[in-house]
Amino acid sequence: METEQIRTFLAVAAHGSFVDAASRLHVTQSTVSTRIQGLEHYLGVRLFVRNRSGATLTPAGRQLLRHAKALMLTLEQARHDVGLPSRFTSSISIGARIALWEGYLPAWVGHMRRIAPELSIRTEIGFEEDLMRRAVEGTLDLALMYTPQHSPGLHVEHLFDEKLVLLSTDPEQRQLDENYVHVDWGPAFFAQHSASFPDTERPALTANIGWLGLQIILENGGSCFVPERMAAPRIAAGELFIPPGSPRFSLPAYVVYALDSDSPMLQPALEGLRELCASY
């Protein structure tokens, strides 16, 4: 049994599809099939039932899922701990959307360093698909995002609601114009946006993260929706403005973590995240 077979098994289990797993792992579908067949041959059981809707775990596959996650977590922890200096007694890994690293999570890092100076913290930026995959694999202890999926063995906890505001370089802006940058904040934002601007055509400019939208309008002028906490410093500096009467949208932020985690620092880390939510 090889590590890549386990990693591939977890990817198929997380996405429910050999095709999607191949895309996420950047390999061919035949490679995914070969790895799963090899794992099934090694274990002597069938792990997935394939049908038109994708791939679902067999009872044996569900049994393996818990052990596979634990195995990947152990391997990742071993890789990390081998190089961990003796002054650190434990470690934790956290990944999140880039917008959540604006103010909120750096404050959490500072909090954790104060209450647990012996803790080693690994921080990462990612999108929902990669963050969920890493959480399923057990290579992330905490994954923060806006549109989580539900997966066996993982808990999804609501933290707080972002307030998305329209930020513009023009204080007199009254409507979306050709310089509007549409940031993809996910399905919930799209539904609210469509309801507020039903006649707006597809914009010429789109961005997949708020930071990118901000850079575009700061350089060229225009507007985009970003979390209010990201907008505050720009507004205070007189660089950008919230157009009068513009709508505000709600965007829930969540943390995802393994139910069976044995990390001694998981609960203190979660408590720190919850405490900081009070200011949002």
What does the pLDDT read at residue 138? 80
What does the pLDDT read at residue 77? 64
Residues 143 and 117 in one domain: yes
What does the pLDDT read at residue 82? 59
Which tops the pLDDT comparison, 149 or 206? 206
Residues 55 and 191 in one domain: no
User: How far is residue 34's CA from residue 28's CA, in Å, rounded to a whole number?
Assistant: 10
User: How far is residue 91's CA from residue 121's CA, in Å, rounded to a whole number?
Assistant: 6
Residues 77 and 129 in one domain: yes
Which tops the pLDDT comparison, 70 or 248? 248
Buried b vs exposed e over 252-264: b needs ≥16 C-beta within 10 Å?
Answer: ebbbbbbeebebe
Contact 265, 90 (CB under 8 A): yes
Contact 166, 243 (CB under 8 A): yes
What's the average model confidence in pLDDT over 33-44?
91
Residues 39 and 149 in one domain: no
Residue 99 is which amino acid? A
What are residue 156's DSSP bridge partners? 256
What does the pLDDT read at residue 34? 93
pLDDT band of residue 261 (cuts 50, 70, 90) is confident
Is the pTM here over 0.85, yes or no?
no
What is the share, in percent, of the chain residues with pLDDT greater than 90?
54
Tell me the residue range of the domain where 81 lies: 73-160+253-277
What does the pLDDT read at residue 78? 63
What lies within 8 Å, CB to CB, of 115 at 6+ separation is 268, 272
Residue 105, domain CATH? 3.40.190.10
What does the pLDDT read at residue 33? 92
What does the pLDDT read at residue 83? 57
User: How far is residue 134's CA from residue 142's CA, in Å, rounded to a whole number?
Assistant: 9
What's the average model confidence in pLDDT over 38-46?
91
How many domains does the chain contain in total? 3
Residues 224 and 167 in one domain: yes
What's the average model confidence in pLDDT over 199-219?
92
**Residue 15 in this model has a pLDDT that exceeds 70:** yes
What does the pLDDT read at residue 4? 86
Residue 45, domain CATH? 1.10.10.10
Q: Give the lowest-confidence range in 65-79, 126-140, 185-199, 232-246.
A: 65-79
71-130 pLDDT per residue, tens: 777 776 666 655 555 565 678 899 999 999 998 999 999 999 999 988 889 899 999 988
What does the pLDDT read at residue 6? 87
What are residue 49's DSSP bridge partners? 56
What does the pLDDT read at residue 134? 86
**Residue 257 in this model has a pLDDT that exceeds 60:** yes
Q: Of 38, 64, 90, which residue is a domain's last?
A: 64
Q: Where are the alpha helices (DSSP H) in 124-241?
A: 128-137, 187-196, 210-220, 228-236
